[in-house]
Structure 1
Amino acid sequence: MNIKTLHQYFLKSSGVCTDTRNIKKDCLFFALKGENFNGNKFAVEAIKKGAIKVIIDERKYQLPTGETLLFENVLTTLQELASFHRNYLNMPIIALTGSNGKTTSKELINCVLSKKFRTTATIGNLNNHIGVPLTLLSMNLETEIGVVEMGANHLKEIELLSNITQPNYGYITNFGKAHLEGFGSLEGVIKGKTELYQYLKNNNKTIFINANDPTQLKYSEEIKSITFGNKNQDFHVDLIDASQKVVVSFQNLKIQSQLIGLYNFDNIAAAIAIGSYFKVSKEDIKEAIETYIPTNNRSQIIDKESNKVILDAYNANPSSMLAALENFIQSEGADKIMFLGDMFELGNDAEKEHQYIVSYIEKNFKGIAYLVGENFYKTKTNASNIHKIEHFEALNTLLENLNFQKKHILIKASRGMALERILDLNCFS
């Protein structure tokens, strides 16, 4: 069995599945392995539930009736099938990566391009060595442009994903202190993310560059590029206001977004530039940006009783945490409260980075700060407005006799903290 033959089975199938709980009739089931599971063991179950073929890599699970297809490695086969399918479709693909803002950028770009093209974009944050192949395999002959988000927490991962995706265009949102445990340092982050630049350079493809970011400019030299930013670039986008929701100007059009925070200006500008490059009209770009509403705990504005809540609890690293704090402190509104949760995957830098955030709050924030998690609990502070809580249950106890009214509230944390649970506490009712 080779990839070309497998692709013929794929084209006749209803799609790809990697979890027997989500089997679709006539799908291809890929029996992936993990530290605590072996998909090969579920081959028979997958067939009984409707899978037309099951891709396995352990001979003892092969069935004599032909429903199982034996390959050397199921994960590698999934990735190779995705690359083969990408070449079969032969359409432009834009690859996105970066430390912060890549999912929001991806969603905005998809909204803009969808005004003119049939697009397929990464769903949610399925952006790793499994999610990227699944995204590519969700595309079909009707797809005119693909938008693929690529995440990484160690070196060589973006290189792998680039080789699988084979993008025609690329964009790196920024370089920040994210996944330091895997990358080792900010320099490691830059080296890892710019693996996308190296792929595009080696294959004579094009990158989109935010000319306001000196790191992007430095590492994109001698690569075919499209720039946006100031008046001297290919596409010029001006910031009008970011005190509440971000407002920008493009080609004499005022665009009022539903996004908060100065940090979202670059995400919006990238979507405008990429849309304009692909000849989406400025009126359609305006409509796409203005109607995009963030979800999934990403910079959402929620009215909770009489309180205004900024919910940004999808993820956090030192760079995105500091940007959120700066924006919250500078934003309008009195009686401010912030709930911050631990930042994960910082390795040996965890103590230093959490202490830096606490010191920043001490110097710049006059409201009340609740810091939740083992890392924040270990930090040092004498500030009377900062409360350190080791775990969520203790926070619940601390707040049980309080009732927040007419407060301006920020909730920011890494995904594993699930800090959005705060909104269900009695203090908001």
Structure 2
Amino acid sequence: MKIEQLHALFLQCDSVCTDTRKIKKNNLFFALKGENFNGNTYAEQALKNGAKYAIIDEVQFNTSSKTILVKNVLETLQELAAYHRTQLNIPIIALTGSNGKTTTKELINATLSKSYKTTATVGNLNNHIGVPLTLLSMTTSTQIGIVEMGANHQKEIEFLCNIAKPDYGYITNFGKAHLEGFGSIEGVIKGKSEMYDFLTNNNKTIFVNGNDMIQIEKTTHANRFVFGKNNRDFDINIDFIEALPFVKSEYNNLEIESQLIGDYNFNNIAAAIAIGNYFKVKDHDIKASIENYTPTNNRSQIIKKGTNTIILDAYNANPTSMRAALLNFEKQPNTQKTACIGDMFELGKDAEKEHQNIVDLATSLNIDQVVFIGENFYKTKTKSNKSKQFNSFNDFKDWFNGSKTENNAILIKGSRGMALERILDFI
């Protein structure tokens, strides 16, 4: 079946689904495969649950007039999304980066949705499956699309850009994330900059944080809209006021007080303000959208439990974001501070060095107690009497349950695989 024919069938459906547990009537089901599952085996169930058609790639499951046999389901999903993109007469903003992608995407979406009908990546569905699903969720009513892109190897951002064909792009930063796949910080910069290459080669526009010299240097010959602080030569100037406890900024004589902690979130807020300004969202709507945004999903959340104040930032971690979180935590105006820090994953050969660097930093800061959790942190060395190390979460839990925690500020941060939000259950 030609992609044009499949697209015509797609338009007859209400939406795309890859999980039979979430099938709704009139869905188009894609039978994707994974290491531990084969979606083809669920095609019949998907149709019974209400799917209009099921896309499969194994002939033995082609048992219905509603099953569509293709060579490769994943490649077909990607090809359909790329074709659908060509039929959408809308601007698409793509963003990537080592830290802050999802928060920045949510802020941009909140800002632009004040004036436009937007469709944005849900959660962090930002990979070779998530990006196509985001594109296929865009309809004729969508006025601006916002697509988050993640990567842990070279050429992934290039691949995703060739599917989404963005008109605008923004890279939040370049940090020590996914070093196992990228090899080094230089590899991270090269991999993320594939978005710059696509936009520059296609004469599109790049949003640039003017206070980030890597971004400035990488976009010298591009069409760019530059924002930042303390430089009136930028296209738009956004000033940082403070971040205690929440980030405050100023734009066009308007003071904006967010519900986000950490001065590292200033750049995320500034990007949303700048992009809102570029698309002519009214200043008071930009202010309202930033001030009303509340972080969720274990990202910089402030939680009160009894007499304790918890900074829950346990969605993910890498050396760059961990350093920023610890430095911000030290500044918090609380008398008693405890940091619960979990292993950072996907660091490859740099894992030992980067975990030791975090231990050295954390124990040097004005934090009363630092607790390190996980096999990597357990291997590190520290002479500090204010630190404790646990090889596993269960070992930590046994110790923590026996500790009395009151009137504390508690930072919880670690990689997704550590699931440190579990600590909330016994505070």
Q: State if a TM-score over 0.5 links the two structures.
A: yes
Corresponding residue number in structure 1 for 2:271: 270
Structure 2 CA distance for aligned equivalents of residues 113 and 414 of structure 1:
30
> What is the match of residue 356 of structure 2?
355
> Distance in 2 between the 1:52 and 1:399 partners?
52
Question: Which amino acid is the alignment partner of residue 209 of structure 2?
Answer: N
**1:75 pairs with 2:79:** no
Aligned length: 425
Q: Tell me the secondary structure at the aligned position of residue 95 of structure 1.
A: strand
Indicate yes or no: 2:89 matched with 1:90.
yes
2:386 matches 1:368: no
Equivalent residue number for residue 221 of structure 1: 220
Q: Which runs of 5+ in 2 are unaligned?
A: none
Mapped to 1, the partners of 2:27 and 2:87 lie a distance apart of 19
2:43 is aligned to 43
**Residue of structure 2 in register with 1:254 after alignment:** 255
Residue 60 (structure 2) aligns with: 60
3-state SS of 2:394 partner:
helix
TM-score, normalised to structure 2, is 0.98
Q: Percent identity?
A: 60
Residue 164 (1) aligns with residue 163 (2): yes
Q: Deviations over 1:139-178 (max 9, x none)?
A: 1011100110000011110011100100000000000000
Q: Secondary structure at the match of 2:175?
A: coil
Alignment of 1:231-242 (within 5 A): 231-242=232-243
User: CA–CA distance in 2 between the matches of 1:356 and 1:49?
Assistant: 52
Distance 1:366 1:156 in 2: 41
Query: What letter is aligned with 2:343?
Result: D
Could you give the per-residue CA deviations for residues 60-114 of structure 1, whole angstroms, max 9, x where no partner exists? 2212x42111111111110111111111122000000000001000000000001
Q: Which amino acid aligns with 2:125?
A: L
Q: 2:26 aligned with 1:26, yes or no? A: yes
Equivalent in the alignment of 1:196: 195
Q: In 2, Cα distance between the equivalents of 1:383 and 1:87? A: 58
The more displaced of 26-35 and 176-185 is: 26-35
AA in 1 matched with 2:75: T
What is the aligned partner in structure 2 of residue 134 from structure 1? 133
Q: Specify the alignment match of 2:5 in structure 1.
A: 5
Is the Cα contact below 8 Å between 2:199 and 2:206 reproduced in 1?
Answer: yes
Matched residue, 1:106: 105
Q: Counterpart of 1:207?
A: 206
- SS of the residue corresponding to residue 287 of structure 2 reads helix
CA distance in 2, matches of 1:207, 1:113: 17
CA distance in 2, matches of 1:202, 1:57: 35
Cα distance in 1, alignment partners of residues 192 and 144 from structure 2 = 23
* Whole-angstrom distance in 2 between the partners of 1:277 and 1:14: 32
1:385 equivalent in structure 2: 386
What amino acid sits opposite 1:379 in the alignment? T
- Quote the Cα distance in structure 2 between the aligned partners of 1:129 and 1:148: 12
Aligned equivalents of 1:362 and 1:337: distance in 2?
11
SS in 2 for 1:323: helix
CA distance in 1, matches of 2:307, 2:144: 43
1:183 — aligned with what? 182
Tell me how far apart the structure 2 counterparts of residues 256 and 48 of structure 1 sit (CA, whole Å): 50
Q: Provide the C-alpha distance between the structure 1 equivalents of 2:260 and 2:362, rounded to a whole number of angstroms.
A: 24
Partner Cα distance (1:238, 1:190) in 2: 26
**Secondary structure, aligned partner of 1:255:** strand
1:243 shift after superposition: 2.3
Contact 2:339 2:367 survives alignment (8 Å): no
Q: 1:372-403, CA deviations, whole angstroms, 9 ceiling, x for partnerless residues?
A: 00000000011110000111111111122222
Letter in 2 for 1:306: T
Aligned to 2:402: 401
Which amino acid counterpart does residue 201 of structure 2 have in structure 1?
A: N
- Cα pair 2:363 2:370 within 8 Å, conserved: no
Greater Cα offset, 83-92 or 162-171: 83-92
- Helix, strand or coil: the match of 1:216? helix
- Please list the CA deviations of residues 177-204 of structure 1 after superposition, one character each: whole Å capped at 9, or x if unmatched: 0000110100110110000001101111
State the match for 1:150 in structure 2: 149
**Matched residue, 2:288:** 287
Distance 2:53 2:340 in 1: 48
| Contact persistence 2:343–2:373 (CA under 8 A) | yes
1-structure distance, mates of 2:44, 2:172: 44
CA distance in 2, matches of 1:298, 1:246: 15
Q: How far 1:232 sits from its partner (Å)?
A: 1.3
Letter of the 1:25 partner, please give it: K
CA distance in 2, matches of 1:50, 1:270: 41
| Alignment deviations for residues 295-349 of structure 1 (CA, whole Å, 9 cap, x no partner) | 0000001111111111000000000000000111122111100000000000111
Secondary structure of 1:81's counterpart equals helix
- The Cα shift of 1:365 comes to 3.2
Distance 1:34 1:412 in 2: 29
CA RMSD across the alignment = 0.9
- SS of alignment partner, residue 122 of structure 2: coil
For structure 1, the residue ranges without an aligned partner over 5 or more in a row are: none
**Which segment drifts farther, 51-60 or 169-178?**
51-60
Q: Structure 1: how far apart are the matches of 2:366 and 2:423?
A: 21
SS in structure 2 opposite 1:257? strand
Q: Give the drift of 1:362.
A: 2.3
